[in-house]
Structures are given as structure tokens and as C-alpha cells.
Homo-oligomer: A and B are copies of this chain.
Amino acid sequence: MTHRNPNNIFIQGAISPSQIGKDIAAHQGKTRIGGHSIFLGQVRADEMQGQTVRAIEYTAYEAMALDKMHQIREAIFSKYSLVCLHVYHSLGIVASGEICLFVFSSSVHRKDAIMATEEIVNNIKSSLPIWGKEIFTNDEYQWKK
């Protein structure tokens, strides 16, 4: 299994659903794949103290996050039999209802992709130095917990 170079996972702003559709379509030539497991994180319009979250602004320690993501990829590829793996995380403003995280694992048999995606999402949340600032409709904010 060849490992890819650590790609930049960060994109500015929301991840577009039509791009997700295109990324799925781009895998139709890989006819060893039997299953894709996708996780999408979407910004919730949570209500707190009478205010509603209208967006989350993401910042990251980018160099450290990419290095850590590379380690996560290596560990996942050595643990599961994957054909490919793509991860995208937003930076900057993502409005409520928009997508901020896209994890996309593909494998010959479904189990590997399903388990890989779940584990990667958990690792991203616990281990990547990324912070979300919840911005309310009145432009006040609080740091996401």
C-alpha cells in the first residue's frame, strides 16, 4: 500500500456539497472499491442564553495539525485496508447549516472504510489543534467546548 504525501486538509470557508458529489464521482474509476464511508460535520445553530449560533470561525495551528494528521493517516493505513482516504476541514467562517468537516474513506470491503472513518473523526476531534469560535446572531461569541 503506497502512502500519499500529507495533503493540506484545510480549506477556507465551508465545504460545498457539490464538491463532495464531484469527489465521490472521481472514485468511479477505482473499481476495486466496494464501499465508501463518509462523515460530514455540519455547523449547528445551537441556542445558548437566548442567542443563536450563526457561524463558527475556525482557526488552527496549521503546521502542527498537518503533521499530526499525517501521523493519523499512517496509523489508519497500517490498521485498516483502505484504497483511499481524504480529509478536509474548514478554516475561517462557516455558517450554520454548512459543512466544516469531510472525512472520506474507501475500501474493498465495507468494514475497513466504516471503522476507519469513525476512528479518523474521533482522532480529528481529540488530536488536531483546531479551535472553533461560536458567533451568535448579535455578533457576540464564545469559544466552542
Contacts and interface: CB of A to CB of B under 8 A. Distances in A.
Main secondary structure of the interface of A (DSSP, over half): mixed
B39 A36 contact: yes
Contacts of A40: 24, 35-38
Interface string A67-84: 000000000000000000
Interface string A83-120: 00000000000001111000000101010001001100
A34 B44 contact: yes
A45 B27 CA distance: 13
Interface string A116-135: 01100100000000000000
A45 to B, nearest CB: 4
A22 B18 CA distance: 7
A50 interface: no
Copies per assembly: 2
A17 interface: yes
Contacts of A42: 27-28, 33-36, 106
A34 B41 contact: yes
A25 interface: yes
A31 interface: yes
A106 B44 CA distance: 12
Contacts of A18: 18, 21-22, 25
Interface in A4-43: 17-22, 24-25, 27-43
